[in-house]
Chains A and B, each alone.
Chain A
Amino acid sequence: GAVVSQHPSWVICKSGTSVKIECRSLDFQATTMFWYRQFPKQSLMLMATSNEGSKATYEQGVEKDKFLINHASLTLSTLTVTSAHPEDSSFYICSAQLLPAGTEAFFGQGTRLTVV
């Protein structure tokens, strides 16, 4: 199946700093990628839809100025958590899907962010 690579797999940062997470589709082009956040024992919550060459679409309640998304190429989307705080500590996962819409989603390995 298709491969999505996410990096880093874990990161610890100090409050107030910014962290960039990369999501790459290795063997296919993804015009659309998705960023999720998952807290312990909870569901994956969609944060935003990353659109190649245009602005990301954020879900209600997600601050676009805090979670910056850039999708500059068909194989790379980045999520930057700006001015991180301990409450931003979570598991962040990206995904991409092949056409047509509604087919299997392929997930990156996830990034466990801990803000201290």
Chain B
Amino acid sequence: RKEVEQDPGPFNVPEGATVAFNCTYSNSASQSFFWYRQDCRKEPKLLMSVYSSGNEDGRFTAQLNRASQYISLLIRDSKLSDSATYLCVVNIGNDYKLSFGAGTTVTVRA
């Protein structure tokens, strides 16, 4: 079983729509959780960290469910510029190692 699993999508949504997707992780000892955004042929960039209480950053909302071992990302009022691959990233333990999901592709159409 992979450490981090994501629905690869693609999620094709019109501008202004809301899109949400989850990521599951296998190690219950996981401590830190992140959503990164990766554009085609570019390096990943941090979108937001995910906190236990859930957090919101503008149109983006992240949730963590430790009991079911998943995190979610919701994008409201989608923009064309939101088209990208969203990577779920988990830090396990006290070292620096990160485990990456394969990414969920979102395409926002006009």
Contacts and interface: CB of A to CB of B under 8 A. Distances in A.
Interface residues of A, number: 26
A19 interface: no
A112 B96 contact: no
B31 A107 contact: no
B44 A107 contact: yes
Nearest to A112: B41
Size category of the B interface is 20 to 34
Interface stretch (B12-20, B56-64, B70-78, B98-106): B98-106
Interface string B1-15: 000100010000000
Interface in A1-55: 1, 6, 32, 34, 36, 41-46, 49
Contacts of A42: 102
B96 A32 contact: yes
A103 interface: yes
Interface in B51-101: 87, 89, 91, 94-98, 100-101
A104 B97 CA distance: 11
Interface of B: 4, 8, 31-32, 34, 41-46, 49, 87, 89, 91, 94-98, 100-103
Interface of A: 1, 6, 32, 34, 36, 41-46, 49, 91, 93, 95, 97, 101-105, 107-110, 112
27 contacts: A6-B43, A34-B96, A34-B98, A41-B8, A43-B4, A43-B87, A43-B103, A44-B87, A44-B100, A45-B100, A46-B97, A46-B98, A49-B97, A101-B91, A101-B95, A101-B96, A102-B32, A102-B96, A103-B32, A104-B49, A105-B46, A105-B89, A105-B98, A107-B44, A107-B45, A108-B43, A110-B43
